Homo-oligomer: A and B are copies of this chain.
């Protein structure tokens, strides 16, 4: 796993630091998306709040992670798949938020259905967030 992590960082021209490695470990080891708070807790007290913020920001810019809109105002982040590039992502999957366990997961195999917009509107991105009960909690 460590080789994989180093690879991700180097591919994105980022220095390999313990903080970045730790956060990537958390993402790789987590089934669902993580919020800033999740990461701060799971990473322990070894890392400063500010470092977590800055790391997430850098990962976002590089397209390593993407953020998921939620109706409460908690921002959640998840790893992007390989075909995501810095700036514009190809998040062609939908996001599922479980009302029971609270987990947010990427449903990679569920593609976003086409949306017909009124005349004059053009779309660059479509976010779909489904809430309900997940497979585990059923």
Interface residues of A (CB under 8 A from B): 67-71, 73-75, 94, 96, 99, 107, 109-110, 113-135, 138
Contact = CB atoms under 8 A, between A and B. Distances in A.
B110 A113 contact: no
Given A113-B113, A114-B113, A132 B127 contact: no
A96 B73 CA distance: 18
Contacts of A127: 69, 71, 127-131
Contacts of A119: 135
Number of copies: 2
A115 B130 contact: yes
Closest 5 CB pairs of A and B: A120-B135, A113-B113, A123-B132, A69-B69, A125-B131
Contacts of A117: 96, 107, 110, 130, 132
B71 A73 contact: no
